[in-house]
Structure formats: structure tokens, C-alpha cells
Chain A
Amino acid sequence: MDPHAAGGRTSELLRIATAGSVDDGKSTLIGRLLHDCKAIFEDQLAHVVQTSERRGDGYVNLALLTDGLRAEREQGITIDVAYRYFATPRRKFILADTPGHEQYTRNMVTGASTADLSLVLVDARRGPTEQTRRHLYISSLLRIPHVVVCVNKMDLIDYSEDRFYEILEQLVDFSARLGIPDLTFIPISALHGDNVVERSFRMPWYGGPPLLYHLEHVVIAPDRNLSEVRFPVQWVIRPISEEHHDYRGFAGQVAGGVLRPGMEVVVLPSGRRTSIAAIDTYDGEREVAFPPMSVALRLADELDVSRGDMIVEPEDQPPAARELEAMLCWMSEAPLEVRGRYLLKHTTRTVKAIVDQLEHRVDVNTLVREPAAKLDLNEVGRVRLRCSAPVMADPYARNRATGSFILIDEASGDTVGAGMVLQGS
């Protein structure tokens, strides 16, 4: 990891994923965060109040803020990922609010895929449930670098320190097995606001910061891979005007490493070497480019480079892999079958892939691995895939951008699977 990246400054945009059901008090917590950050507007609140009254909820049902679809309102459930936005003077937050039930695991995976931080709620009275463990597992599977467990409803257990630590101990072991790198526990009462925005005076035994402070200060810059250069070519900028006759800009979003003009690079899969002549943006040339900047590279030599190629440094190249070992979350009603053929989209490259082997299925509640002949909707398993052309894939644990892929059903065009590379060869 680059030493500069661990500096004291924090990035300004934090992406959060939450999962949970009504009972955990998730809606109350989100409602309070939004409200206290002045992100709930008067007309939205008035609408929620009116709708709650009409439905006879008996209280102001803050779930209505995010349950935007007719079907969700009718059934009183969250079906799909809802995105909410709020800000403090220190940071802007994008919150992906996802349903917690097992039948919506794929939605949870979707919300988790881009998250920097996962917010898991536990009811202090009930303690960790099957759902809690599933949320932690999904957070670790998607490699969300930071996980915050909010032990909620502390008011209902007299703000008991013993109970809080009891829950903490139950989850620490489990999380250690999952390899969650940064795990934080915060005792809160979303209803009364304890330790949400303001520090609670009712829990003097808790020495940590309240939730919002934590969200504002958690350091995410080093989470990116800044040591291995990965630049998937997305689009070639070729102006037809006389003025820019010879211009070739290889445009894309930096997926890893730090690029500088003059740097020696190799273009994969061809293996041809050249160097970066310039890093272009609309606002002029840059001296440096890093994730997630969108730029255009000019190369010193005229090479045949097109979409789907990847520009990397000669000394640390990803394998041009035909075979992928991967964890896969299945997202389609039609099950994944061994020998099934799909399109595989990895960075800007789409190839055909065959499922050679389904090594095991993981029970998302117990983490138990079991043999399986297929993966049904919302199931997770370990697979071996064979690709029609090489993909420059890193292990997902090293780089979320170059270690992830989706599977697409060629006939329907639907996205049917989300994959995380363990190893490419």
C-alpha cells in the first residue's frame, strides 16, 4: 500500500450499505440519521405522516421514506435497493438501503458491491440472529472494508454494558472467521437518539464515538489498491478534425495503482510495451492518475489498443486467465447449472464462459459448505469457470474492480450472477 494513502485526510464521499428488516429498527435509524443531517425535507415528511395515518400504522412509519415502489407500500416490505443521500460539512454519504430477508440476498449483494462501509443492526434484546450472521457474511464476501454493528434498542435493556459486551463477544468470533478487517461495535438507541448523532449520557461506560462521528471519520483512502497499476481501456477517443488528426486517447477509469506520464507500461493481452506519453482530461493534462479517476492515456508508440485491453506495469501483471476460480452469488430464477454457458463481463471486457465445476454451495446462514448440483436464486457457491478468451483478473481480495465480474444470460440479456475471483490461471 502506498504510504501517502494512509494520510490523515479522509475522502469526501462514503458509500454505505445497510441491510435489515423493520424489527431491527433500521428505518428508525436511517430516519434519524437523515433527519438530523437535514436530509428529510418537509414535503417528504408530510407525505410520510399522511400515508402512515391513512394506512393506520399508528406511528410515523419512516420506512415509507425509502419504500418508494407501489408494491412495497402495498405489502409493507422493502423489495429493492433504495439509495438515499445525506451530508455533513465533513462528508457526503450515499446510503444503499437493502432488504434483509434471505429471498432478497441478491439485492443485498447489489447494494454491498460498491460500499465502503456496511451497517449491521442487532436488536439488543434478541442478540445476533441468523440474519445478522448472513449480513456479516455478505459484507465479508463482497469485501466491504469497514463493518459497523449497531447494537440497537439499548433503551429496552436499561443500557446494560454487560449485555452489549455479551453480544459483541458472540459476534467477534464469528467475524474473525470471516476475516472482516475493521469491525466496530456501537451501542445505540435509534428511537431516542443515543449515540447516533450525539454521544449518549446514558452509557458513560462506552468510550467510543457516536455513529455519525464514526461515519464521518473512518479512513477509506487506503482501501483502494494503489500499488498495482490497472487501467482497463474503455473507449478510444479519435477525433476526426484536422486539428487533432493524429490524436489517440485511450479512455477509461483507473482501477488500480498510480499512473504518471513517462511510466513504462505493457498492454494486455498482447503484451506489447510502451510508455505513457500523457494523461489527458478535459481540464488539461495531469501529472498523476489514481482510482477512481476517469482519464484518457496517450501512449508513446502507435499500438493496436482497443476496448477490453488492460494497461498495466511490466513488473506486476495480472494473469491473462482462461480459468477462473470464483465465489458466485446467483441472481436468477433459473438455476445455475454445471456446463451452463454465459457471457462474462469483467472490467470492460466481455467473453463467453462455461461453468466447468460447482465445487460447493455455502449456506449463507451457517457458512457450512455443502456439495450441490446447482445454485438457485440467492444462493452462493464456489465455481470454476472456463473463458473463451483471457481475462486479466486479480483476486477480488486484492482489487474489487479487477476481481469482480457479472454473468449475463445471452438469450434474455439478464444479469444472472455476481462473481468474485479467488484465482485466475
Chain B
Amino acid sequence: MNPLHYELSHLDALEAESIHIFREVAAEFERPVLLFSGGKDSVVLLRLAEKAFRPAGFPFPVMHIDTGHNFPEVIEFRDRLVAALGERLIVASVQQTIDSGRAVEETGPRASRNRLQTTTLLDAINEHGFDAAFGGARRDEERARAKERVFSFRDDFGQWDPKRQRPELWNLYNGRIRRGEHVRVFPLSNWTELDVWQYIAREQLEVPSIYFAHRRAVFERDGMLYAHSPFVQLIDGERVFEESVRYRTVGDMTCTGAVRSSARTLEEVLAEIAATRITERGQTRADDRVSEAAMEDRKREGYF
């Protein structure tokens, strides 16, 4: 900030916009919830919620959709962070969705619970009667997201209809919904990956250790490095080896790839992000590679 000229740095301007969005949702909805994945974007969301509502508590709980295939480091981090904030954590489990017969586990070496999460998420939204759910998605991540509104309207079935999006003007967000409908709200819509990391550095936020370079047993598939874990079967010819890697995104172990890296500190990660020539999802997410419109199709079904 430069008070002499009444100007904000770009991070301060983005922060002010995000805080406005948080407060707008708190004021216009009865039962919001913050979706927390354990990833860097949701760490930033939590800090922005603190900025919007402290010294009071959050006017909503925090919810994690637990696929059961998470990195253990991330679960440990989640519990510690939410406890330190003194906020309420709800865990909705994909395993329970499967056990109750609401979803069927995929099989085979490429099995993933990525798609099943949608059922767990929508069930949890229904069960708790949530009418607004904050998510950490950004428009720079993916081409379908580049078109999504900050207030992204979902029908009774949790579906997104890209052709029926409400116009979104100025900072006047329209929070009118009918019973059974809800909105997904994306306070980080206008942030880029680099903004997120710069903010993490500025705010000195802790992120899960897997974002920094570490030695890990991995195998290579479709040009990506995956963690060797009990949740993934190897295909013939795939071999496990040790590598110095870090993660650019945090999803579940079955569909999130690692990148070769020696960046062990925040400064080194920032330098790596600034120099990278590949998008984070293109480099590390198998779930987006299914088809040209993989993200749009999953969002239509109610995905994050």
C-alpha cells in the first residue's frame, strides 16, 4: 500500500476484492460452508476469511471432502490448521458414500475417486442444507473456469449450466436462489498461481510439506510422476524409483502428479513458478486430461 497516493499493490487489491466477496456471502446466505482441500488455494481462502471476519469467528464451518486417498501429510496439516484457527471442521467421506452404496468404486490401475467426490460433496451439501459453498478455484487454472462466475449458480441437482450463467456486474453479486439450489463462490477467481504463492510468502502462511521438494518413491505414467502408494496399481513395465519432487497442486494421490524439483524454500518455489512454462493443471492433473472439456463436463455434474 502507498497511502500517499491512495493506491494498493496488486495483492492488496485482490485481497480487498476477495474479502468483499466473503462478507457478501455471509450477509446474503443462511448456511454457507468453506470447502477446504488442504491445498495452497484453500490455505489462502482461510486467511482471507480471517481477514474478513476477525476478531469474530467464521460465520460458517469448514468442510473437507475426504477421498480416503489423500496424502497423509495433508490430513495432518488440515487438522492442525483448523484447530489452530478454532473453527469447526466437517469431514465428508467418499469411503462412506461407497459403503452406503451411493457410489461405486472404480477398478483397475487407473481407478480414481476423483469423480466420486461429486456425489459425496452434493450429499453433504444436501444433508447440512448448505446454500453457498466457497471454493478455491481460479480462472487462470483451466479454460472452462475462465468463463465461470464468482457466484456460480447450481440447480437442484448441483449442476452448472455454462449457457445459463447470470450476468455479473460491478461488485454487485446476486445471491438469490430457490430452495434446493445453491451457489459455489470463488473468491480467488481473479488470482493467478503466482499471486497465490506471492500471497503465501507475504502472509507467511504454512502450506503442506509436499509443496516443497522432498525424496519420494514415484513411478512414471503418461509423462507424469505419481506417488507410489497402496491406492494405485502399477501397470506392466512401470517401475518405482526415488526422485526429488514437489507438488504444484494437491488432489488425491491417484490423480495428482509430482514435478521434479529441488525447490525446498518458499523463495525457491516462487522462482520456479515464475519461470515455469506449463500450467499447474496441465503438468500435474490426470483428471483434466480425460477429454478436451473434462473440467466443463465434471463441473456440469456438480464438481468443485
Contacts and interface: CB of A to CB of B under 8 A. Distances in A.
Interface in A182-230: 221, 224, 226
A241 interface: yes
Q: How large is the interface on A (under 10, 10 to 19, 20 to 34, 35 or more residues)?
A: 35 or more
A29 B235 CA distance: 45
Interface in A62-100: 65-71, 73, 79-85, 87, 91-92, 94
A81 B167 CA distance: 9
B147 A221 contact: no
A406 B174 contact: yes
A51 B293 CA distance: 12
A44 interface: yes
A51 B292 contact: yes
B179 to A, nearest CB: 11
Given A83-B146, A404-B172, A234 B56 contact: no
A69 B55 contact: no
A80 B162 contact: yes
A413 B277 contact: no
Nearest to A237: B56
Nearest to B289: A43
B54 A345 contact: no
A408 interface: yes
A406 B19 contact: no
Specify which of B12, B20, B278, B297 lies most central, judged by the most chain A CB atoms within 10 Å of its CB.
Answer: B20
Contact of B174 (A237, A292, A415): A415
A110 to B, nearest CB: 5
B50 interface: yes
A234 B27 contact: yes
B138 to A, nearest CB: 9
Contacts of B145: 68
Given A12-B8, A415-B174, A79 B163 contact: yes
A339 interface: no
Interface stretch (A3-11, A157-165, A268-276): A3-11
Contact of A288 (B3, B19, B57, B190): B3
Contact of B4 (A4, A11, A106): A4
Interface stretch (A118-126, A129-137, A247-255, A366-374): A247-255
B178 A226 contact: no
Contacts of A5: 5-6
Given A69-B296, A401-B170, A405-B172, A293 B8 contact: yes
Nearest to A413: B176
Contacts of B171: 114, 253, 401
Nearest to B9: A12
A237 B176 contact: no
Contacts of B172: 345-347, 404-406
A249 B55 CA distance: 9
B200 interface: no
A43 B283 contact: yes
Given A84-B146, A239-B56, A252 B23 contact: yes
Interface string B9-28: 11011111101100110110
A69 B57 contact: no
Given A94-B190, A239-B56, A44 B282 contact: yes
Contacts of A221: 5-7
A167 interface: no
B170 A113 contact: yes
A400 B23 CA distance: 20
A413 B178 contact: yes
B168 A110 contact: yes
B201 to A, nearest CB: 15
Contacts of A170: none
B74 interface: no
B52 interface: yes
A92 B198 CA distance: 13
Nearest to B25: A235
Contacts of B189: 83
Nearest to A67: B143
A247 B56 CA distance: 9
A237 B293 contact: no
A331 interface: yes
A258 B5 CA distance: 11
Interface of A: 2, 4-5, 7, 9, 11-13, 38, 41-44, 47, 51, 65-71, 73, 79-85, 87, 91-92, 94, 106-107, 109-110, 113-114, 221, 224, 226, 234-235, 237-241, 243-244, 247, 249, 251-253, 258, 281-283, 287-288, 290, 292-294, 307, 331, 343, 345-348, 400-401, 404-406, 408, 410, 413-415, 418
26 contacts: A9-B2, A11-B8, A13-B14, A68-B146, A68-B147, A70-B293, A82-B146, A84-B140, A85-B140, A85-B192, A110-B168, A221-B6, A226-B6, A234-B20, A235-B26, A237-B54, A237-B56, A251-B52, A287-B3, A293-B12, A294-B19, A294-B20, A346-B172, A347-B172, A406-B172, A415-B167
Given A73-B292, A290-B6, A307-B27, 4 more contacts: A235-B52, A243-B55, A293-B12, A345-B172
Counting from the closest, the 9 A-B pairs by CB-CB distance are A68-B143, A43-B282, A413-B176, A294-B19, A239-B56, A12-B10, A282-B51, A113-B169, A235-B23
